[in-house]
A and B are shown apart, each in its own frame.
Chain A
Amino acid sequence: MKSQESVLKMSNISKEYYGTRVLNNINLEIRAGEIHALLGENGAGKSTLMNILFGMSVIHSTGGFDGEIELDGEKVDINSPLQAMDLGIGMVHQEFMLIPGYTITENIKLNRELIKKDFINNLMPTSLKQIDLDEMNKEARKALDTLDIGIEEWIKVAGLPVGYMQFIEIAREIDKQNIKVLVFDEPTAVLTESEADNLLKAMKKIARSGIAIIFITHRLDEVMEVADNITILRDGQFITRKSKDDTNVFEMAELMVGRQIESLAKHEAKDIENQPVAVSLRKFNVAMPGEEVRDLNLDIYKGEIFGIGGLAGQGKIGIANGIMGLYPSRGNVLIDGQPLALNNPKESIKRNLAFVSEDRRGVGLLLDTSIEMNIAITAMQNKNKFLRDYKLFSQKSHRQIRTHALDMIKQLDIRCTGPEQIVRRLSGGNQQKVCIARALTLDPMILLVSEPTRGIDIGAKKLVLDTLIKLNKELGITIIITSSELAELRSICHRIAIVSEGKIEGILMPDASDTDYGLMMSGEYNKLKSKEVI
């Protein structure tokens, strides 16, 4: 179905925000049925470009943009998202635009509800026309079938797994009759690997039906898997447009970041096992919904970087949350040989544990509070740091907080306008650094980090991981890092435990073979090995 004519052509797009040029002569051209990857670090201008395509009000309220957009060869002015929708441009959002209290059908047909076609209805003004739920259900079913989703269309969205929600969003877009261009904004960021595979398959299927797809992502292997062509942006500049066949992952990464990525600093293998045990878990249970830990036993030695990997839903996230007392847990936990009182976050912090949560925006940060307060708050609450004590009451010491925050901003290279900036305005990578800075402010002996690089771009990723290695080397902090990205764990950890069904399936060295890792992830390792022994 690939035609040679382009569906969408954006030429010489430039945009200024208050005098700063964020986009400079960008060109983007997409044919029908093509999957076109749009790559770039955070801040490269991808979102601004998409905002222009959608006619978002943030563009027009800041003076519009220069350049032309052509759709099917005709020049169009897009002034509002509604108009973009009418023209056949759709978007699958990164943050789900779904209403939990609605059924799947109602979500798919949101603001495009079908109207009953009887006599009285025809006489009514538009807003008083009756809605035809039966017909809506049928069409929703059709869209879901196109994506091979077997879920019933009339159940509520609330409580569905994240993977389904993504598909409901996609179903909504393909249900639109006139859809020509569909934008996927980092669709796989929140999905597990198997869900992501399904999604990529669905994308290919949609493209085959003649819809052009713009695919925004950080995951280069996915680009290699599905994309036909690739456009790379960097710092608001158009860098290159390539066909997939002419390039490879390394070149793309290099073009994106604009500097050679050295392979992450390998550290010398330490003689870990002779060290004393820092954390010991026995019969550890955590009731974290969707990530339950069941009767888990684990020893982590002092001074190591310990990785916890595994598929989503197997319980790897639950371990750190359980140790920190954020979810109900049971069992024995020894920190440096001393038992830890469970289900009590304050106690965990007192024992020199610090936690960087996987839920950065939910648990990790006070989004509308300044960087400096975010860094200081936990230490103020729990360690009486940054306080001026007047015996009867105490006040926070602004000067100490400021000095410390400035120090942290410099050390961790947090890109911001100053310590007073609110963290909501920071990019994902910098928000993560604020989280780490706060954890470090507690002077932890053991640092638990969950999904440290989720949703942040390659450059920031490297900085975050390098920081962790540095902390381990220079301060001797024991680091327990939980991540769904195996490659990342293998690049920095001394040992890696793979969790399956709430238990440790096995512990591997970073240089163990891919097959071993694969088997452990799928929970088959021990079964197969025990057979060999027999």
Chain B
Amino acid sequence: MAELIGVNKKATIWDKIKRFSLNNMVTIMFVIICYIGFYYSELSFAFFVNDLITRIARNAFLVLALIIPVLAGMGLNFAIVLGAMAGQVAIIMVTHWGIVGWQGFLICVVISAPIAIIFGYLTGKLLNKTKGQEMITSLILGFFANGLYQLVFLIMVGSIIPMENETLLLSTGVGLRVSIDLTGGLKYAIDDLIRWTLPRTLMMIGCVSILIGGFNIYKYTKGVPNYLKSKVKLRMINYSIAGLAFVIYSFVITNGSSLLNNIRVPIVTMVIIGLLCLFNIFISKTKIGQDFRTVGQDRHVATVSGIKSDKIRVTAIVISTLLAAWGQLFFLQNLGTLSTYGSHEQVGMFAIAALLIGGASVTKANIGHALLGTVLFHTLFIVSPIAGKNLFGDAQLGEYFRAFVAYGVIGLSLGMHAWKKQLQGKKL
């Protein structure tokens, strides 16, 4: 009867492993794929790490921008494409004015903010009219906005909107060029402010981690309420050990002749990504963060208890769109070229794919998912063309696999999410 009813059964280790792999099956699958890809690509570890760090600095901000709408129960916000557009508008303006370096970047930040907030507000209003279909609405909204964007920059610039700039405009004088080179302008505006070597960065991360671990130990000895005990315990152990590992590893690298010593990490960008993580944690502990979660869990209950759920939803989307605009700025200053009509198109897809690979779902996402997802997604991006070439003698195949991965993972993880839900439903 026990296996039929399944109650009061002690969870064995096997059960725990089974539950863990069921809960994280998407992530586990991609870890395996990434490992296989890395193995067959025969890349040197240093080259791989270098590439990966660049890509994390480029993309993590955008992925993190997706978290708040998920908290607020609005699913994956494909409409961050609009935020990306706001960022690009600012970049085009600043490039036109010829302001360079971090000053230019700062002006981009300032200009893009109001545009993104307006876009976000309108998106939020629309999504409030289409409750329950937020994802498809935001996806289609992204396509529609793309049409408007093209109308403005391909047809109106130079004709209705006066603009004279030979390097930016097409030879006819109407419409922007397909790609705009940011070299000498915004390229590496933030990344190049300070760059540390990898061992030094690891050392710093290690120290911070040990400090956090130490703080948790201090908290634990001072006494914490029962419900937090296991959490704090886990934190103090994990952070301390990870911190120590980082410090030790950094010594190992420095004293060896590894190529890893040559990697230079864009520290300001990384710190800003770190701050954004902190912002996400901060906001989830505030009143509005609690409101996001309440609305996300049950809109009806939230409304009955006096929360203005529509307003909360709009706020969530505004924050997400604003972060996406700034994320796109980081993305482009790192990339160095603005593909005027293309840079924003894939932003939503790729960021969402990354988040999903990290183990997030339509209803659950956190910083860990975002960061882990970014790492895995870009690992796949780096290794797959080379692995494809080595395995099948054709880089195109790997290239194909790249595109396949981005779209495939969204479909797959949404499917797996549904399947998981079904399995859990059966168990109950």
**Partner-B contacts on A (CB < 8 A):** 81-82, 85, 93, 97-103, 106, 110-111, 113, 115, 124, 126-131, 134, 137, 152, 154, 285, 287, 289, 292, 294, 328, 330
CB-CB under 8 A from A285, the residues of chain B are 1, 4
- Known contacts A81-B304, A110-B301; 10 additional CB pairs below 8 A are A97-B304, A98-B301, A99-B298, A102-B294, A128-B283, A130-B286, A131-B285, A154-B225, A289-B7, A292-B5
Residue numbers in A under 8 Å from B297 (CB-CB) = 99-102
Interface residues on B, range: 20 to 34
- Whether the Cβ atoms of A129 and B4 lie closer than 8 Å is no
- Residues on B with C-beta less than 8 A from A97 are 300-301, 304-305
6 closest A-B pairs (Cβ-Cβ)? A154-B227, A127-B288, A82-B306, A111-B305, A99-B297, A287-B5
Query: Would you call B291 an interface residue if the criterion is a C-beta within 8 Å of the partner chain's C-beta atoms?
Result: yes
B301 contacts across to A, CB distance below 8 A: 97-99, 110
| Binary A-proximity of B14-55 (CB < 8 A = 1, otherwise 0) | 000000000000000000000000000000000000000000
Contact B294 A134 (CB under 8 A): no
Determine whether B204 belongs to the interface, using a CB cutoff of 8 Å to chain A.
no
A449 to B382, CA, bound (A): 62
Which residues of chain B are near A81, meaning CB under 8 Å? 304, 306
B256 at the interface (CB under 8 A from A): no
CB distance from A286 to the nearest CB of B (A): 9
Q: How many angstroms from the CA of A98 to the CA of B300 in the assembled complex?
A: 10
B290 touches A131 (CB 8 A): yes
B287 within 8 A of A: yes
Are A129 and B287 in contact, CB atoms less than 8 angstroms apart? yes
Q: Which chain A positions have C-beta within 8 A of B298? A: 99
Given A289-B7, A289-B428, is A111 in contact with B286 using a C-beta cutoff of 8 Å?
Answer: no
Separation of A128 and B286 alpha carbons in the complex (Å): 5
CB pair B5 A127 closer than 8 Å: no
| Contacting pair A137 B225 (CB below 8 A) | yes
CA distance A355 to B379 in the complex (A): 55
- Given the complex of chains A and B, what is the CA–CA distance between A82 and B283 in angstroms? 24
Closest residue of chain A to B5, judged by CB?
A: A287
**Which residues does chain B contribute within 8 Å of A110, judged by CB atoms?**
294, 301-302, 305
A115-B302 Cα distance, complex, nearest whole Å: 19
* Chain A residues near B288 (CB-CB < 8 A): 127-128
A98 to B286, CA, bound (A): 20
* Given known contacts A81-B304, A81-B306, A289-B428, A99 and B1 CB-to-CB distance under 8 angstroms: no
CB distance from B78 to the nearest CB of A (A): 24
Q: Is B6 an interface residue (CB 8 A)?
A: yes
Q: What would be 17 A-B contacts, judged by CB atoms less than 8 Å apart?
A: A85-B306, A93-B304, A99-B298, A110-B302, A110-B305, A115-B287, A124-B286, A128-B283, A128-B287, A129-B286, A130-B286, A134-B225, A137-B225, A285-B1, A287-B5, A292-B7, A294-B1
Asked whether B226 is an interface residue with its Cβ less than 8 Å from the other chain, the reply is yes
A161 to B185, CA, bound (A): 63
Shortest CB distance B74–A (Å): 16
Asked whether any CB of chain A lies closer than 8 Å to the CB of B307, the reply is: yes
Q: Chain A residues near B1 (CB, 8 Å)?
A: 285, 294
Which residues of chain A come closer than 8 Å to B227, judged between CB atoms?
103, 137, 152, 154
Contact with A along B278-319 (1 / 0, CB 8 A): 000011011111110110011011101111000000000000
Chain B 249-286, CB within 8 Å of chain A: the 1/0 string? 00000000000000000000000000000000011011
Chain B residue with Cβ nearest A103: B227
Question: Which residues of chain A come closer than 8 Å to B225, judged between CB atoms?
Answer: 134, 137, 154
A93 to B289, CA, bound (A): 26
**CB of A137 to closest CB in B, whole Å:** 7
Task: List residues of chain B with CB within 8 A of the CB of A98.
Answer: 301
Residue of B nearest to A290 (CB): B7
A289 to B297, CA, bound (A): 24
- B contact residues around A106 at 8 Å (CB): 290
Contacts of A101 in B (CB 8 A): 297
Chain B: minimal CB distance from A131 (Å): 6
| B309 nearest CB across to chain A (Å) | 10
Q: Shortest beta-carbon distance, A278 to chain B, in Å?
A: 26
Closest to A99 in B: B297
* A129 CA / B285 CA spacing, docked (Å): 8
Residues of A close to B226: CB separation below 8 A:
152, 154
Q: Among A113, A289, A292, which residue has its beta carbon within 8 angstroms of that of B287?
A: A113
Contact partner of A111 (CB less than 8 A), chosen from B283, B289, B291, is B291
Q: How far is the CB of B314 from chain A (nearest CB, A)?
A: 13
Q: Which of A98, A111, A152, A328 has the most CB of B within 10 A?
A: A111
**Contacting pair A126 B304 (CB below 8 A):** no
Q: Is the CB of A126 within 8 A of B287?
A: yes
Interface residues of B in 190-230 (CB under 8 A from A): 225-227
**Chain A residue with Cβ nearest B283:** A128
Distance between Cα atoms of A113 and B289 in the complex (Å) = 11
Task: List the B residue with the shortest CB-CB distance to A328.
Answer: B4
Expressed in whole angstroms, the Cα–Cα distance for A294 and B1 within the complex equals 9
Nearest chain-B residue to A110 (Cβ)? B305
A85 partner residues in chain B, CB cutoff 8 A: 306
User: Nearest chain A CB to B308's CB is how many angstroms away?
Assistant: 9
CA distance A152 to B227 in the complex (A): 9
Measured CA separation A516–B288 after assembly (Å): 57
Minimum CB–CB distance from A216 to chain B (whole Å) comes to 17
Contact digits for B417-428, partner A, Cβ 8 Å, 1 yes 0 no: 000000000001
A131–B286 contact, CB under 8 A?
yes
User: Chain A's nearest CB lies how many Å from the CB of B225?
Assistant: 6
Minimal beta-carbon separation of B33 from chain A (angstroms): 31
Q: Report chain A residues within 8 Å CB of B291.
A: 111, 127
**Could you tell me which residues of chain B, from 134 to 170, have a CB within 8 Å of some CB in chain A?**
none
Say how far A452's CB is from chain B's closest CB, in angstroms: 26
**CA gap between A100 and B297 in the complex, in Å:** 8
- In the bound complex, what is the Cα–Cα distance between A111 and B305 (angstroms)? 6
Q: Nearest Cβ in chain B — how far from A9, in angstroms?
A: 25
Whether the pair B4, A131 counts as a contact (CB closer than 8 A) is no
A99–B294 alpha-carbon span in the complex (Å): 8
Closest chain A residue to B1, Cβ basis: A285
User: How close is A111's CB to chain B, nearest CB, in angstroms?
Assistant: 4
What residues of A have a CB within 8 angstroms of the CB of B289 in the complex?
131
Query: Given the complex of chains A and B, what is the CA–CA distance between A318 and B50 in angstroms?
Result: 61
Q: How far is the CB of B19 from chain A (nearest CB, A)?
A: 15
A97 to B298, CA, bound (A): 9
Q: Chain B: which residue is nearest A137 at the CB level?
A: B225
A130 to B226 CA separation, bound complex (whole angstroms): 21
Cross-chain contact A111 with B428 (CB below 8 angstroms): no
Residues of B within 8 Å of A103, CB to CB, are: 227
With both beta carbons as reference points, the residue of chain B lying nearest to A155 in the complex is identified as B227
Chain B residues positioned under 8 Å from A330 (CB to CB) = 4
| Residues from chain B with Cβ under 8 Å of A152 in the complex | 226-227
Nearest to A294 among chain B residues (CB) is B1
Q: Are B4 and A287 in contact (CB under 8 A)?
A: yes
Complex Cα distance, B225 from A154, in Å, reads 10
Q: Complex formed: what's the CA distance from A198 to B247 in Å? A: 59
- Which residues in A have their C-beta under 8 angstroms from that of B285? 130-131
Closest chain A residue to B315 by CB distance? A127
A106 vs B301: C-alpha distance when bound (angstroms): 13
- Does the CB pair B306–A111 fall under 8 Å? yes
Measured between beta carbons, the chain B residues less than 8 angstroms from A82 are 306
How many Å lie between the Cα of A130 and that of B290 in the bound state? 10
Residue in A closest to B302 when the chains form the complex, CB atoms: A111
| Residue numbers in A under 8 Å from B286 (CB-CB) | 124, 127-131
Question: With the chains together, A325 CA to B332 CA distance in Å?
Answer: 59
The docked-state distance in angstroms from the alpha carbon of A285 to that of B4 is 9
Chain A residues near B302 (CB-CB < 8 A):
110-111
Smallest distance from the beta carbon of B125 to chain A beta carbons, Å? Answer: 19
Cα of A127 to Cα of B286 in the assembled complex, Å = 7
B282 to chain A, nearest CB (A): 8
Inter-chain contacts of A131 with B (CB < 8 A): 285-287, 289-290
> In the complex, what residues of A have CB within 8 A of residue B282's CB?
130
Q: Check B304 against A287 for contact (C-beta < 8 Å).
A: no
Chain B contacts for A154, CB-based, 8 A = 225-227
User: Which of B4, B6, B226, B307 counts the most A-chain CB atoms under 10 A from its CB?
Assistant: B4
Chain B residues within an 8 Å CB radius of A128: 283, 286-288
